[in-house]
Structures are given as C-alpha cells and as structure tokens.
Amino acid sequence: MVRDMKLALAPMATLSHEALRLLIHRYADPDEYYSEMIHAPSYVAGGKFEPYYVKTAPCPERMVWQITGSEAGPIARAATMIAPFGGLGIDLNMGCSAPDIARHGAGIAWMLKDLGETANLVSQVRKALDREGHTRGPVGGAYRLGVKLRLGAEEDGERLLRFCRALVSEGVTQITLHPRTKAEKYGRPARWRFVADLARALPVPVYGNGDVFSAPDALAVENAWGDSGIAGLMIGRGAVTRPWLFREIFRARASSPAATPAPAAPTVPAATPAPEPIDHLEVARFFLEALRTAQPPEFHVSRARRFFFYYCDNFTFAHHVKMKAQNAKTPEEIGGLLESYLNEVPNDRYLYF
C-alpha cells in the first residue's frame, strides 16, 4: 500500500496567492505550492500586477509556476522569465474550463485543439527552458515541466492516454489530472480511476486533484488508489476552507496503522506557532493583514471575498455570514462582520481537535 503521495496546493485563480500560502504555512506546508494562473501575454508585456503573481513566500523552493495563454510563443517566453524565480518547475494550464478562458483558446482549449499544435506548445516551452539552463538533467536538479488537465470534452480514457503520451514525448515530466470533463461542475464526483490508469501507463509522475476536503478524504484516496503509483494528491478548495488541512493529513497518516512511514511534517517556525485550538477570528485577522502586503490594493476586496466564501463554511450559519462577506466593500468591513458574528455565535469561534 503506497501512502506517501506528495501533497500539493492546487493552482486556483484569486486564491493561490502569497497570503493564502502564508496562512497555510503556519500549520504545515504541503510538499508543493502551485501559483495562481499567470497570464503569459500580460507577464511578457510587463503588466502592472504581474509581479504579485510571482511572489515566492513562504517557501520559494516548493513553488510551481502555472502559466496560461492561447499561443505557444508568449507561453514559452513567460516560462523563461519566470523560471529564474526558482521553485520546482513550470506547469501549463490545459484544464481550466472557465468559459472566458476556453473561448480565447487557453486552458482546456489546448486539449481540444489539433494534437500537433498542443504538442508544439510543449516542445517550444521545453526547448526554451533548456536553452536558458533550466534543464531536465541531474546537474542542479531537474526543472519540471508539468501540465494540469481535465478528462477533456468527454470521458474517453484511451484518447486521454494518447494525448498525455504525446505531451510526454515532447518533454512533459509531470501530469496532474482533475478527473472531470470540460462541462462537469463539482457536483459530479471526481473519477480517480482515470488518475490511476494514467499513473500505471505513463513513465512520469501523475498527480490527482478532486474532492479532498478532509484528512479522511485524503487517506481514502491513498487507500483506494495507492497501489496504482499515483505520485501526488493536489488539494484546492479543501485547503482554503481548512488552511490547516495539510497538517491534519500528516497527523492522520502518522496515526494510521495501515500507513507506511511518511515524511515528517515540516516544523512550524517558532515565530509563528500553530494555534491550538484554531481561533477563527485570529485566522481571519492574520489573513487580512497578510493580504495587504501580498496583493495590490486593487485586489484586496475581491481576494478577501473569495477566500471567505470558502472559509465561512466552518461556521454554523455559513450561508448567512458568507453572503454578508460577499457584499462587503472593504477588507476591514469583512473583518468587522466576522468579529460581530463570532461574538453573536461564540461557539463558532474556536475549532478544537
């Protein structure tokens, strides 16, 4: 039974930024932090907000930079500009099914284009990275070129495998699959058997992403599919709702009698001890303060609303408080309404383990 899947924070637009990473870091770091989607043309053009997408705290060495775009040239150029920031490698977004992204030829549109065009994208990015010295070779460690995918327009395992093999032949060295189709929303369960099938068939590490919201969820995936060779477990919304989720998984692994020895959880820095119990008001204040320096002022309200849309699921009257947060005009207003709510519902303030 394989129980040592790497843990990764998923790339989530407006969420996987430095402020969220700093909050997660207080409890336990995952093995890998994926960035938000970085829009290649905007980055190459030196857009005003682009420097905020490549901030590296708290663990520069664990970063994976996800790039999106509709043309190979700007994506390859952006990859070579971002690679010097370090981290584990570059990830190409071929899975985002948001209509505005797909309609312009980015995200999952790369899975629907002629395979030769998509393979050429990978080839250009790999060659550009190699020319700049960010190679696959053993000297200094390998610089990864990954892709994040969905199943495609429809559920077709054979087509998916052919697609992935073509990308690997052009230089992809890691694949993450969110096993839902282009049109499927989160109501349809993720089909992890497709992740397992790719892991068995491909010569590169394969990660899976979908429906992990708790430590028992993570262990259930590892128990069910661990012997397939799945190399990584990527977590998105669950880690926004519970920024301490990676710590919970490390602890659950350590206490599970069926588990093989897993790497020890990273030591929590002495300057920022993990609070016991979780104080939701203190968490909210920490996040809002981190947001002020991690993101430009123009993003403060939208990023705060987005985070608390998920985080408020920890509360008894979640819908009530999250809707108030979505209508707030400033981060300070969000902080104030959360404080008022927790004063009115004091049993919601602390989470005990």
Residues 25 and 150 in one domain: yes
300-311 and 280-294 helices, crossing angle to 10° = 150
pLDDT higher than threshold 70 for residue 3: no
pLDDT at res. 1: 47
In our burial notation (b when 16+ CB lie closer than 10 A, e otherwise), range 142-167 reads: ebbbbbbbbbbeeeebeebeebbeeb
pLDDT at res. 138: 46
pLDDT digits (tens, 9 = 90+) for 214-266: 999 999 999 999 999 999 999 999 999 999 999 999 999 999 876 555 455 55
In a domain, 179, yes or no: yes
Residues 30 and 137 in one domain: yes
Residues 251 and 285 in one domain: no
Going by pLDDT thresholds of 50, 70 and 90, the confidence category of residue 317 is: very high
pLDDT higher than threshold 80 for residue 269: no
In a domain, 171, yes or no: yes
Residues 80 and 176 in one domain: yes
pLDDT at res. 213: 97
pLDDT at res. 139: 41
CB 108 within 8 A of CB 102: yes
pLDDT at res. 271: 45
In a domain, 156, yes or no: yes
Residues 21 and 150 in one domain: yes
Query: What is the chain's mean pLDDT, rounded?
Result: 93
Into how many domains does the chain fold?
Answer: 2
Q: Which residue range forms the structural domain that includes residue 310?
A: 278-351
CATH at residue 153: 3.20.20.70
pLDDT higher than threshold 80 for residue 137: no
